[in-house]
Structure 1
C-alpha cells in the first residue's frame, strides 16, 4: 500500500481529490482507479506529466475551458447500453438518443481540439464513427434528438402515410357526425362529444334515448350523460387505424433491432472512445487544478531525494485566506536518513510536515504541486503519524496509538519511502519521550527511507548524519521594538503577523530559540514568571 487511510487523512489528500473535478462518468471511473507511480516508474510518470503540461495552456484560456466543460458535462454513461447492444438486446429510443448525442459530442470535441491545435496522444485520441452517425441521423438533421425516421424504411413511410390519411378520415367523420347530432337535437355538445341533460327534462331525455347516434353513459341524482355513438363506418376506420399503428410499431421495432445490432458491431470503437474521453477528462481536471492552484510541474529524478522550494499546503492556505491571512511558503531539502524539525508550538512544524507529505503524494499521483519548484525521487510508500493517534476502537491511548503507527513505519524503513512523524512520544512523560525519540531517530538515520520528524527535543538532533531544521519563528524579531504593540494589541494577531514559519538548517552550535517564552510574553504572561523561566533555561543549558 502506498498510503494508508490514516496518512491520506492526515495529509488532507482527500481535499485534493475533491478539488480534482472530473465531469464525465468515464473520467469518474479513471479518477477512482488512480494509482501512484513508485520507484522504477519514473519514465511513466514523466510521460504523464508531459502530457498534462501540454494541456495546461488550453485550460488557461477561460473561454476554451468553458467549452470543454460544456461538452463533458453533457456526456452520459453509455457503457451499459453498449453492452446491451453487444449482447443482442434491442435498445430503447432513449438509449439510441443518448448514443447519437454521444457521437455528436465526440465530433464537437474533435472539431474543438483541431481548431485550437490541441495535441493528441494515443491514449486520448478520439476516433469518430461517421457510419453510425449517419445511421442514427439518416435525414442529416445534425440535431441530437432521436426519432425512428421515415427514411429508415419505405414500408414505414407508407404505413405512416396511410395512418395519417386514415386519421384524417376518422376526424372528418367525427366532425360531420357531431354537426349532424347538434343540428338534429339543437344541442351544444361538449368538446369530448358528450352532452349532459337534467332529469327534469323528461321529453328531451326520451328523444335522446331513442336517438341512433347517442348512447347512455352515466348518471347522477340530477343529470344523465350521453355521448356520440360511432357509426359502423367510424368503427371500421378506428379498427383499420389500430391495425396500421400495430404494423408501424412492429416495423419500428425491426428498425430499432437493426440499429441496436449496428451499435453492438461498433462496441470496440465506442468503448475505446469512452476510455479516451475518461483519460482526457482526468487530464483536463488535473490541468484545471494546476491552473487554479498556480501549481508547477514537479521534476522527477532518479536520485532518492525531495527538494521543495516555497511549497504551500493548499487547504491550510485556503483556510488562512478566509481569515485574511497568508500562508508562508516552506522549503525543504531531504535525503535518505532523518531530518528533524524543531521549534515552539504555533511555529508551523506540523504544517511543514503535512505540506511535504501532501506535495509528494500529489506528484506521485501525476499532479502539479503548489510550490515554486520541486524535485522528487519516487518513493514506494508514504507513512505518517500526525495528529492525535488515540484509537477509541482498540482502546489505545494517544501514546499507544502513536507507537502502533510508528512501528508500522519502522517495518518499511528498509524500503525507499517517506516517513513523517509529528511530535515523537508526545503522549508520554518528557524523560521517556526524549529517550524514545532519540532511539527512533538513531534507528532511522542510516535507513534508506527519508524520515521527516518534528520534535520538541532539540537534543534529539545531536547526532552525526541527522539534519536539523529549525522553524525561524520569532527568533529574528526584536520584541523590545514591539512594546507598545504588545501592550495594546491582540496577542494572537501579533504572533500571526510576525511569526516566520520558514525552516533553516542549523547545527549543534545554533542557540535554541526562545519562541515559547516570546509567545508567552506576547500573550501577556507576567514578567517575573518569564524572567524566572529564562533563568531556568540558562541553568538547564549549563547543566
Structure 2
C-alpha cells in the first residue's frame, strides 16, 4: 500500500507512531521500518491481527506480567555493533563482554517471564535463553550481572594473579615498616601515603628532613613544603617485578577475551534470532497496549471491495477535545467503489470526518487495531488525501494549481482499488468553474475502481443517483432555539456551538441542497438581521 509523505502528514499518522511505545532499540528499529500491508498480504495482516488480539487479552488478564516484561525491555541496550564485531572475529573489550553478559541474563529473565503467560508464543517473536553463554559468563555460578575476567578462565592467569597479590602484600608491608622507621627516627607522624608537610618557618626541621636518607622533597606551596618517603632498593625491585607480572596478566587476559569472543561467535545466529524476536515482541506488545489504551477493535478483512466503519474515532482529535471537556462524535460510514460526497456547513466536521476515514484505514493496513466499534475493509493499494492550502511557492503554483497537480496524480491511480479523499474540491478558483471542474472530476471517478470521498459546499454535485450523498446533521431547529436563548442569557460565544452541533453523517437518498447552517451560525454570532434576511432572499 502506498501513502505519500504528504498524505501521511495530513492524516497525522505520526500521532499513531508517537503513541506506539516501544522500549528496546530493536523494537524501535522495527517500528521505524513499519510499512502498510499490501493488497496481496491478506494472510500476513490477519496473522498480525490475531497476535494483537491475543496480546491485548493477555495484557488485560495478566497486566503485572507485562509490566515486568516491559521493565526488562527498558534495560536492553543496542549491541548490534558489538555483535557485528563478534561476527567479524574481533576481540571484545571487558566492557563489551559485560554488556553481552547482561544481555544474556536479560534474555533468561524474559524467557522466564514469558513462561508465565497463557500463550503459545510464535517462534519468530519468542526470545529464548542461551544456556551455554550463561555458563560461559558465570563460571563461578554466582548469577550476578557483574563481569570480570575470572581466574577460572585460565590456570596461568590464576597463578599470575596469585603472585601479584603476594608481591603487593610484600610491598605494602615494606612500606609500612619504612614508615614506622621514619616516624621513630624523626619522632614525627606520617600520613598513610608516607607524606609529611612542614611550615617553611621551621627551618631546622626542613634541614633535618633534607638530610634524612629515606625522605625526599615532594612539593611546596608559598607556606609549606611536603616531603615523602622514598622507596628502598627492595621496594624498587618488588615494584619492577610487579609491573612485569601486570604485563603478563594483561597478555593472558587478552587471550581469555579472544577465547570468549570466539565462543560467542559460535552463537551469533542464536543472538541474531533473539534480537529479531525481541524487536518484534516489543512492537507487538506496544500494539497491544495501544489497542487496550485507546479501546480499539480488530479490523475484519473482506473480499468484497468496500470500507465500513461503525462509530470510528480520530484519536488525535478526540484527545485534543478532551482537554477542553468536549467529546468527539464518532462517525459511521459505509463506502464502495465510486464517489461519495459529504456536504454540510463550515464547522460541521466534514474535514475531520474525511481525515478520520483515511486515519482508520491507514491504521488498519499498518497492522494495528482501530478506534471504532467495528471496521470492515478490503485491502487498498493506496491512500491519497488532498486537504488544506497546497500552494507551492517554490514551483510558482497557486492554491488551485497545487490542488489540481495533486489530484492529477491520484486520478492516474484511480483504476486501482484505493482511497481518494478530497477536501473542498476546487475551492481555490471561482465558484462557476469550480463547480464545473468538480462535476467533471466526479463524473470521471464515479466509475473507477477506487473509493473516492469528496467534501464540498457546491450544490448539485451529489444530485445523481450513482453518487452517494452523506450529510453532516448540523444544528436542529430545537438546538438553534436553545443556543440562541443561552447566548442571550449567558452571553456565551461560538464555543457553545460544538456542544450542540451534531457531527454524525446521514445518507441523503433524494435530491437535496447543501444545508445552510452557515446563515444560522451567522445569526447566532449576531450578524445584522437585515443582511441575513437578504442572504436568505438571494438563496431563494
* Cα pair distance change 1:534/1:219, threshold 3 Å: closer
- Aligned partner of 1:149 in structure 2 is 150
Q: SS of the counterpart of 2:507?
A: strand
- Aligned partner of 1:10 in structure 2 is 10
How far residue 201 of structure 1 moved from its aligned partner, in angstroms, is 4.3
Q: For 2:280 and 2:233, how far apart are their aligned partners in 1?
A: 65
How far residue 456 of structure 1 moved from its aligned partner, in angstroms, is 0.5
Q: SS of the counterpart of 2:460?
A: helix
How far residue 425 of structure 1 moved from its aligned partner, in angstroms, is 0.6
What aligned pairs does 1:448-527 form with structure 2 within 5 A after superposition?
448-475=449-476, 477=478, 479-488=480-489, 489-510=491-512, 512-527=514-529
Q: For 1:336 and 1:50, how far apart are their aligned partners in 2?
A: 28
- Which ranges in structure 1 are unaligned for 5 or more consecutive residues? 539-543
Question: Are the equivalent residues in 2 in contact too, given 1:472–1:501 (CA < 8 A)?
Answer: yes
Q: For 1:438 and 1:244, how far apart are their aligned partners in 2?
A: 91
* Cα pair distance change 1:478/1:134, threshold 3 Å: closer
Q: For 2:278 and 2:200, how far apart are their aligned partners in 1?
A: 71
Q: For 1:223 and 1:492, how far apart are their aligned partners in 2?
A: 81
Q: For 1:205 and 1:529, how far apart are their aligned partners in 2?
A: 106
Q: SS of the counterpart of 2:461?
A: helix
How far residue 513 of structure 1 moved from its aligned partner, in angstroms, is 2.4
- Aligned partner of 1:541 in structure 2 is none
- Aligned partner of 1:24 in structure 2 is 24
Q: For 1:147 and 1:81, how far apart are their aligned partners in 2?
A: 18
Q: Which moved more, 1:503-512 or 1:352-361?
A: 503-512
Q: SS of the counterpart of 1:21?
A: coil
Alignment deviations for residues 132-175 of structure 1 (CA, whole Å, 9 cap, x no partner): 11001111111111111122222222222221121111111111
Match of 1:531 among 522, 530, 533: 533
Q: For 1:82 and 1:242, how far apart are their aligned partners in 2?
A: 33
Q: For 1:292 and 1:531, how far apart are their aligned partners in 2?
A: 50
How far residue 324 of structure 1 moved from its aligned partner, in angstroms, is 0.8
How far residue 523 of structure 1 moved from its aligned partner, in angstroms, is 1.4
- Aligned partner of 2:119 in structure 1 is 118
Q: Which moved more, 1:221-230 or 1:280-289?
A: 221-230
Q: For 2:383 and 2:124, how far apart are their aligned partners in 1?
A: 29
What aligned pairs does 1:235-314 form with structure 2 within 5 A after superposition?
235-314=236-315
Q: For 1:254 and 1:333, how far apart are their aligned partners in 2?
A: 70
Question: Are the equivalent residues in 2 in contact too, given 1:320–1:326 (CA < 8 A)?
Answer: yes
How far residue 246 of structure 1 moved from its aligned partner, in angstroms, is 1.8
* Cα pair distance change 1:208/1:427, threshold 3 Å: same
What aligned pairs does 1:68-79 form with structure 2 within 5 A after superposition?
68-79=69-80
Q: SS of the counterpart of 1:237?
A: helix
Q: SS of the counterpart of 2:196?
A: strand
Question: Are the equivalent residues in 2 in contact too, given 1:475–1:515 (CA < 8 A)?
Answer: no
Q: For 1:419 and 1:198, how far apart are their aligned partners in 2?
A: 90
Q: For 2:316 and 2:201, how far apart are their aligned partners in 1?
A: 82
Question: Are the equivalent residues in 1 in contact too, given 2:460–2:513 (CA < 8 A)?
Answer: no
- Which ranges in structure 2 are unaligned for 5 or more consecutive residues? none
- Aligned partner of 1:137 in structure 2 is 138
- Aligned partner of 2:163 in structure 1 is 162
- Aligned partner of 2:59 in structure 1 is 59
Question: Are the equivalent residues in 1 in contact too, given 2:459–2:513 (CA < 8 A)?
Answer: no
Q: Which moved more, 1:2-11 or 1:236-245?
A: 236-245
How far residue 16 of structure 1 moved from its aligned partner, in angstroms, is 0.7
Question: Are the equivalent residues in 1 in contact too, given 2:30–2:279 (CA < 8 A)?
Answer: yes
Q: SS of the counterpart of 1:383?
A: strand
TM-score (norm 2): 0.96
Q: SS of the counterpart of 2:495?
A: helix
RMSD across aligned positions (CA): 1.7
How far residue 302 of structure 1 moved from its aligned partner, in angstroms, is 1.4
Q: For 1:203 and 1:352, how far apart are their aligned partners in 2?
A: 96
What aligned pairs does 1:330-369 form with structure 2 within 5 A after superposition?
330-369=331-370
Q: SS of the counterpart of 1:225?
A: strand
Alignment deviations for residues 189-225 of structure 1 (CA, whole Å, 9 cap, x no partner): 2332123344554544444333221223345666543
Question: Are the equivalent residues in 2 in contact too, given 1:85–1:260 (CA < 8 A)?
Answer: yes
TM-score (norm 1): 0.95
What aligned pairs does 1:82-121 form with structure 2 within 5 A after superposition?
82-121=83-122
Q: How many residues align?
A: 538
